[in-house]
Chains A and B, each alone.
Chain A
Amino acid sequence: MEVTEQERLVAILKERYDDQVEKVETIQEFLTITLKKENIADIIQYLYHHPETKFQFLTTLFAVHYPDLNQIAIVYQLHNLVSNQRLRLKVYLPIENPTIKTLTTVFAGANWMERETYDFFGVNFEGHPDLRRILNVEDMIIFPLRKEYPLEDQTREDKSDKMFGR
């Protein structure tokens, strides 16, 4: 039987990091691999240099808060510009202490993406050269995209819950 591109990719990953892979799934034809958090930078480095994968472009890096699981997922989206192949890597972190190694050692462009993720979700990227807020005001004390914080501005007095459904 012929091996698909995605199966080959998973095989390359498992060749070296079999113990790190937690789940492999394909969501809308988009290969998504859930990994353990410890070696994420090494794994991406490995996929960057491996001659068959060459994921040398970081499309995006962001976080998702799952209040039901009490976890924050960091999502890395990689792109192989030679074969036009895409890959999504997911790492789950506990909400109490969301800490993960920085990806700036592999992609310099991850710098601002990690700052943004810190700004909105409070994820601590170990080894990041300059981890501080990037978009919100510096004196903000919350991480606004975590679902425990209400979206609306709490200082408004003219909007009642009855009228505006807040």
Chain B
Amino acid sequence: METSTSNIKTYTMSEKPEGYEGAGFFATSLDKVVGLARKNSIWPLPFATSCCGIEFMATMGAHYDLARFGSERLSFSPRQADLLMVMGTIAKKMGPILRQVYEQMAEPRWVLSVGACASSGGIFDTYSVLQGIDRIIPVDVYVPGCPPRPEQIIDGVMKIQHLVETESLRRRDSAEYKAMLNKYGIE
């Protein structure tokens, strides 16, 4: 029987950025190299307070396996974390704590808001619940759902990866970025 090799597809862990290639060298911009490196080694800090946290546990598990995206190393210290994943209802009393965790993270840092509660307060439209974490910290990507399925959380992480990959190295020094942080009262 004839064997066909045309159906075999090669997969790569990450795509090579645009650049010039020759024998023994590859030249591209520093932005792209740093973006490539950062994108595939995002250390998330899980800030899980309720059921979305359970979905996150499934996302980290063997079946969905966030390690495939270079994010298997959870950082429970904000100092070493790149991505703050807020999953669950944030009560007003928890607000200052979340804000402190965000402030303790080193730049560059990203925030993923998972689920309806973190994004908007969700069904808890009440006096004790923060109506969306974007009232106290800036958010990069929102994942809707109550709770979202692991696929959706992975999609959110991939959106973050895209932001990380394409971010300009000077963005965090820009006046716009500082003005945005000042809007939240963060230095």
Interface positions of A (Cβ within 8 A of B):
136-137, 140, 142, 144, 149, 151-153, 155-156, 158-159, 164
For the complex, is B59 an interface residue (Cβ under 8 Å from A)?
no
For the complex, is B73 an interface residue (Cβ under 8 Å from A)?
no
Residue of A nearest to B128 (CB): A136
Given the complex, which residues of A lie within 8 Å of B93, measured CB to CB? 136-137
Given the complex, which residues of A lie within 8 Å of B131, measured CB to CB? 153, 155-156
Shortest beta-carbon contacts, A-B, top 5: A144-B127, A152-B125, A137-B93, A153-B131, A156-B131
Flag if B126 contacts A152 (CB, 8 Å).
yes
- Cα distance, A164 to B123, chains bound together (Å): 11
Residue of A nearest to B130 (CB): A153
- Cα distance, A144 to B121, chains bound together (Å): 18
Q: Which residues in chain B, 124-142, are within 8 Å of chain A measured between CB atoms?
A: 125-129, 131
> Closest Cβ of chain B: how far from A84's Cβ, in Å?
36
Flag if A142 contacts B127 (CB, 8 Å).
yes
Given the complex, which residues of B lie within 8 Å of A156, measured CB to CB? 121, 125, 131
> Closest Cβ of chain A: how far from B103's Cβ, in Å?
19
Given the complex, which residues of B lie within 8 Å of A142, measured CB to CB? 127
Residue of B nearest to A156 (CB): B131
User: Chain A interface secondary structure, helix, strand, loop or mixed?
Assistant: loop
> Closest Cβ of chain A: how far from B174's Cβ, in Å?
29
Interface positions of B (Cβ within 8 A of A):
92-93, 120-121, 125-129, 131
Given the complex, which residues of A lie within 8 Å of B125, measured CB to CB? 152-153, 156, 159, 164
18 examples of A-B residue contacts, CB within 8 angstroms: A136-B92, A136-B93, A137-B92, A137-B93, A144-B128, A149-B127, A151-B126, A151-B127, A152-B125, A152-B126, A152-B127, A153-B125, A153-B126, A153-B127, A153-B129, A153-B131, A156-B121, A159-B125
- Cα distance, A152 to B93, chains bound together (Å): 16
Given the complex, which residues of B lie within 8 Å of A159, measured CB to CB? 125
Given the complex, which residues of B lie within 8 Å of A137, measured CB to CB? 92-93
Given the complex, which residues of A lie within 8 Å of B129, measured CB to CB? 153
> Closest Cβ of chain B: how far from A83's Cβ, in Å?
40
Residue of A nearest to B135 (CB): A155
- Cα distance, A142 to B126, chains bound together (Å): 13
- Cα distance, A156 to B92, chains bound together (Å): 14
> Closest Cβ of chain B: how far from A3's Cβ, in Å?
48
> Closest Cβ of chain A: how far from B187's Cβ, in Å?
22
- Cα distance, A158 to B92, chains bound together (Å): 19
- Cα distance, A153 to B129, chains bound together (Å): 8
Considering residues A149, A153, A155, A164, which has the most beta carbons from chain B within 10 angstroms of its beta carbon?
A153
Given the complex, which residues of A lie within 8 Å of B126, measured CB to CB? 151-153
- Cα distance, A54 to B58, chains bound together (Å): 52
Given the complex, which residues of A lie within 8 Å of B127, measured CB to CB? 140, 142, 144, 149, 151-153
Given the complex, which residues of B lie within 8 Å of A144, measured CB to CB? 127-128
- Cα distance, A156 to B126, chains bound together (Å): 10
- Cα distance, A100 to B77, chains bound together (Å): 47
> Closest Cβ of chain A: how far from B152's Cβ, in Å?
21
- Cα distance, A11 to B90, chains bound together (Å): 51
